[in-house]
Amino acid sequence: MPSASVRTRDLPAAVAAVGATALGAGLGELVAALVAPTASPFAVIGGGMIDIAPAWAKNLAISLFGTGDKAALLVGIAVLLLAVAGAAGVLEWHRPPWGRVVLGALGVVGAIVALTRSDAGMLSPVPSIVAAGVASAATAWLIGRLRRGPRSGLAADEGLTRRSVLALSGIAVAAGALAAAGSFALSSGARAVSAVRAALRLPTPTTTTDVPAAAELGIDGLSPVITPTADFYRIDTALVVPQVDPADWTLRVHGLVEQEVVLRWDDLLDLAPKETVATLTCVSNEVGGSLIGTARWLGVPLREVLARARPTAEADMVLSRSIDGFTASSPLEALTDDRDALLAIGMNGEPLPIEHGFPVRMVVPGLYGYVSATKWVTELEVTRYDRAEGYWTPRGWSERGPVKLQSRIDVPRAGARVEAGAAVIAGVAWQTHVGVSGVEVQIDDGAWQPATLAAAISADTWVQWSLAWEATSGSHTVRCRAISADGQTQTDAPAPPAPDGATGWHELTVTVA
């Protein structure tokens, strides 16, 4: 049975290890900024967790946190790390040196994961090793100080020892936070690429897509037909956003081709970019969800780039690869037919934002992003579906991802209170590269009523719709369904996003005063 003195030192021992681990983590981030920016310990662990996450876990994270899924993951990693550190501190107090062994093992795991990343370099393991080494050494020193205790044996002196260890642990946390802040300040690569982007002038497109005035219904609360860049959703696997200077960027086209092609930034600009408007959506988008947006994209048609390489007759897929190792499996046909599939360099009149793939990303109407929207793209491998697979396919998602027919109610919002009398129900509908010919709305169990469609920009974009409603007092259920340009009616069968996109009707409840 441990003595009361031993038990009362469990908490100081846990706090000491937490402080030591915070110091190690901060110094690890600082070392990463200096020698291996993509091997930040938090990014390495987080990236590894994303890599092994099954489809249901990815979908759960996005449904709970939306585009804040990465921030939530990093916070979760920090909480878990500190919990493990606290337990290691108690273990070190009772069974030395096993607490240090646990912390050291975390560093070994981080170093191994860093080496297995696609962008790993010789120095990639160093930040994780430094983090673990500092955490282990500082834990041993602080708990050793706690174990030595007061030489006089007086209770007051023992309390002073515990307080001094707690104070030193607090100093370690503060030092770790300062080191982490220093790592951010030293991210000169990010600042340099931001400066290059700010100074970049986009070429004039050879062709543009007109957005008719009638495409915008002008209803308060209805999603604008062109999504502002700041509001455009971001879903990808990059915890550390790649920083790619256009001067260093290359695109390699290889595989089942007659002629391998390598393009640089200036080569891409020489191919006469065009501007188009296209809607992109994530396969993780729930029915009625917000992981969808429409933008003006400036870029070079992928079919022109692939035509230079001359794919062979046996090819049926293009495996695009990001600089961070992400891959997407796109049907070759979708990149070479008449749709505006682009190597995009601009978004809404400006160079691509860095977090949206600067300097070059893929935009392919009609396909969910996980099989087409590769950001920071550096490679196109022309291949076959029976020879290769994209990042998400072995993780439970379908190898092909055509966008499904969907519609959403934006006005009124779920749970909203509406004044009785003249009101409006409005939203958006889409099935990119097919198009939408109609939307119907049902109120409670009444008949389906045809909504008024705004003018469509093209089959590759969503379309706004509205329905005048004479609202009566009480609680009402409102639902919508779309009709595609080829005559299909949106299914009412509910299905989750995994493995190939959600289905069902968007439905909400409205209270009329």
Contact 297, 322 (CB under 8 A): no
Q: Kindly report which listed range (252-256, 269-273, 401-405) carries the lowest average pLDDT score.
A: 269-273
Q: Establish whether the linkage from the previous residue to 205 is cis, with ω within 30° of 0.
A: no
CB atoms within 10 A of CB 338: 8
Contact 486, 494 (CB under 8 A): no
pLDDT tens-place string over residues 177-234: 888 888 776 665 667 898 999 999 999 999 999 999 999 999 999 999 999 999 999 9
Judgement on whether residues 172 and 248 belong to the same structural domain of the protein: no
Q: Once rounded to an integer, what is the mean pLDDT over residues 19-28?
A: 93
Judgement on whether residues 21 and 158 belong to the same structural domain of the protein: yes
Is pLDDT above 70 for 432? yes
Q: Which of 395, 428, 458 is the last residue of a domain?
A: 395
Judgement on whether residues 421 and 288 belong to the same structural domain of the protein: no
Residue 272, pLDDT score: 87
Is pLDDT above 70 for 475? yes
Residue 462, pLDDT score: 98
Q: Output the average pLDDT for the chain.
A: 91
Judgement on whether residues 149 and 282 belong to the same structural domain of the protein: no
Is pLDDT above 50 for 1? no
pLDDT tens-place string over residues 140-179: 999 998 887 655 455 545 555 778 888 998 998 899 888 8
| Pairwise pLDDT comparison (44 vs 295), residue with the higher score | 295
Q: Once rounded to an integer, what is the mean pLDDT over residues 65-93?
A: 85
Q: Once rounded to an integer, what is the mean pLDDT over residues 223-249?
A: 93
Residue 450, pLDDT score: 98
Query: Which of 294, 158, 276 is CA-nearest to residue 227?
Result: 294
Helix 41-52 to helix 10-35 angle, to the nearest 10 degrees? 90
Per-residue burial over 293-313, b if 16 or more Cβ lie within 10 Å, else e, is bbbbbbbbbbbebbeebebee
Judgement on whether residues 310 and 410 belong to the same structural domain of the protein: no
Judgement on whether residues 316 and 240 belong to the same structural domain of the protein: yes
What is the count of structural domains for the chain?
A: 3
Judgement on whether residues 304 and 417 belong to the same structural domain of the protein: no
Judgement on whether residues 16 and 136 belong to the same structural domain of the protein: yes
Largest CA distance in the chain: 89
Cα separation, 57 vs 55, in Å, equals 6
Judgement on whether residues 426 and 387 belong to the same structural domain of the protein: no
Tokens standing for residue 49: 């967790």
Cα separation, 199 vs 272, in Å, equals 20
| Pairwise pLDDT comparison (372 vs 113), residue with the higher score | 372
For position 425, which CATH number holds? 2.60.40.650
Q: Which of 169, 186, 203 is the last residue of a domain?
A: 186
Query: What is the CA 30 to chain-centroid distance, rounded?
Result: 24
- Residue 204 domain-assigned? no
- Residue 35 domain-assigned? yes
Q: With cut-offs at 50, 70 and 90, classify the pLDDT of residue 316.
A: very high
Q: Kindly report which listed range (58-62, 384-388, 416-420, 479-483) carries the lowest average pLDDT score.
A: 58-62
Residue 165, pLDDT score: 84
User: Containing domain of residue 495, as a range?
Assistant: 406-512
Judgement on whether residues 367 and 422 belong to the same structural domain of the protein: no
Sign of CA dihedral 114, 119, 120, 126: negative
Judgement on whether residues 357 and 381 belong to the same structural domain of the protein: yes
Residue 160, pLDDT score: 56
Judgement on whether residues 386 and 498 belong to the same structural domain of the protein: no
Q: Could you tell me the CA-to-CA distances from 74 to 19, 79, 192, 213 in Å, in that order?
A: 18, 9, 25, 43
- Residue 182 domain-assigned? yes
Percentage of the chain modeled with pLDDT above 90: 72
